[in-house]
Structure 1
């Protein structure tokens, strides 16, 4: 059972445990205490706890230390069996940059091993681990400076660090998003959607460190779905056709450029082509502009 509770806002403590006697909303009870009374063994999520009011953190100290909470009516709620999860973006920039550095070092080490062991099987892994030293020397001071309470951090059993996606994970995200739209195209318009591995690599390059998986979703919508919607609006898609998403032939050389080469001024262009029997594909002549509002037409 998962409960999502905002950890900030107007009258934050009253929202959590309920208003005291004589105040408006006393009979309603608190958002947190009411739910915990109904389900003492709930899983409770405090989203973006770094934005919580200091008085809320004080309430959480009692909650995490004693495993119980007193509401605005003076009743005690036992919640020792509940699990509390908190999310925070504090130190996310430092974690992301450190992870990127570790991945770059791991990549260089893998290349070195490949060069030294030509002809043998050398496994290249995307897996990295943040060291205990980095957590203690860099992350811990940032958390202490933000929350200003050692006792609050001391009551947290474990901190899980979410690192930026590696390339293989980004490919999985792109593939998942493309499959989502392929199913919609099949269900709504009987259109079969295909794509090459090169397309997934191009879309994965649209990953933005600060926006996470959302940036992949937006990249697929911007570069693929908008084209699908425009082609549909311009009556270029025969019902029951097979469409392939491909990289423009002139831009394929950009994908083969060595890692040390300077970044190209523009990303490779993606195109839609109709796959016909006995033909590689007929490129669709989609007229600009590709209006994002067209997506509603395709849906």
Structure 2
């Protein structure tokens, strides 16, 4: 982060371009004093930014470029950092204990940040890497977003637990955490569903069932036309992700009353 970033936070001084606009930080807090302020990856900030943070954390107020005092006493300030992430990764894969990994992380934090800044923080929390169960929850949340987009077209989505296993096996990277899951779903699942929409293989009142192939290495898609999921209590079409029976056998089920189309995903 460059030195002039402080001017972006509190506003440019009189006589400089953008003086009348105010600072991104001070203006936001001045207008909404009850706020949560997040400084993401704060270790990348210019040293002059930390001097500004010291004033906020110590006095609870900050003077902007126009000379106005902005009150920060009703804000919650959170700073995140990736310092020492490699030590947590070693603990995750068993090369060291998580306790020793946390100690190494704190050593990195103390090397990078000045004691006067650390002393003004109420608490420093070291987050453990996401567990497999937590990653499944992240994957479900991402798929629910896909399901809601399909629901706008009157299309329901069903995903099996074995399909989730395939998605996590293909997308998860311990170095990058859960972020690749979203990219993988957009590249593979959303792209495949988009192709099926363009080819008119799925339409309103259809249900798309996503399952794992018999070898458990890729996804399969089964379209059940005129079989949109309906809430038995309200009669309304479902707009949330559903869970089907586990195992690839569910994709081999034959239903003579519905028009069923099966499709196997292709790796890109």
What is the TM-score normalised by the length of structure 2? 0.74
Q: CA deviation at 1:67?
A: 2.0
Aligned equivalents of 1:69, 1:287: Cα separation in 2: 55
Q: Is 1:43 the equivalent of 2:36?
A: yes
Q: Structure 1 pair 218/33, CA: closer, same or farther in 2 (3 Å)? A: closer
CA contact (8 A) 2:158 2:210 kept: yes
Q: Structure 1 pair 35/219, CA: closer, same or farther in 2 (3 Å)? A: closer
Q: Structure 1 pair 183/58, CA: closer, same or farther in 2 (3 Å)? A: closer
Match of residue 170 from structure 1: 135
Match of 1:140 among 106, 110, 127: 106
Match of residue 284 from structure 1: 262
**Which deviates further from its counterpart, 23-32 or 88-97?**
23-32
Q: CA deviation at 1:140?
A: 2.2
Gaps of at least 5 residues in structure 2 are 225-253
Aligned equivalents of 1:185, 1:32: Cα separation in 2: 38
Aligned equivalents of 1:233, 1:38: Cα separation in 2: 46
Match of residue 198 from structure 1: 162
Aligned length: 238
Match of 2:145 among 173, 180, 184: 180
Match of 1:96 among 79, 82, 89: 89
Match of residue 161 from structure 1: 126
Aligned equivalents of 2:109, 2:82: Cα separation in 1: 10
Aligned equivalents of 2:53, 2:94: Cα separation in 1: 35
- Larger RCO: 1 or 2 (CA < 8 Å, sep 6+): 2
Aligned equivalents of 1:207, 1:151: Cα separation in 2: 38
**Higher helix proportion (structure 1 or 2):** 1
Q: CA deviation at 1:15?
A: 1.9
Match of residue 212 from structure 1: 177
Aligned equivalents of 1:33, 1:287: Cα separation in 2: 50
Give the RMSD, CA atoms, in angstroms. Answer: 3.2
1:267-288 Cα offsets, whole Å, 9 max, x none, are x021112355249996635696
Match of residue 120 from structure 1: none
Q: Structure 1 pair 73/211, CA: closer, same or farther in 2 (3 Å)? A: same
Match of residue 78 from structure 2: 85
Aligned equivalents of 2:188, 2:119: Cα separation in 1: 46
Match of 2:211 among 246, 249, 274: 246
Match of residue 271 from structure 1: 220
Q: Structure 1 pair 42/278, CA: closer, same or farther in 2 (3 Å)? A: same
1:51-96 Cα offsets, whole Å, 9 max, x none, are 1111111111122122222333444434233221112222222223
Gaps of at least 5 residues in structure 1 are 1-7, 106-129, 253-267, 291-299
What is the TM-score normalised by the length of structure 1? 0.67
Give every structure 1 segment of 4 or more consecutive aligned residues whose post-TM-superposition deviation is greater than 6 Å. Answer: 286-290
Match of residue 29 from structure 1: 22
Q: Structure 1 pair 241/83, CA: closer, same or farther in 2 (3 Å)? A: closer
Q: CA deviation at 1:245?
A: 1.6
Report SS of the residue matched to 1:101.
coil
CA contact (8 A) 1:45 1:84 kept: yes
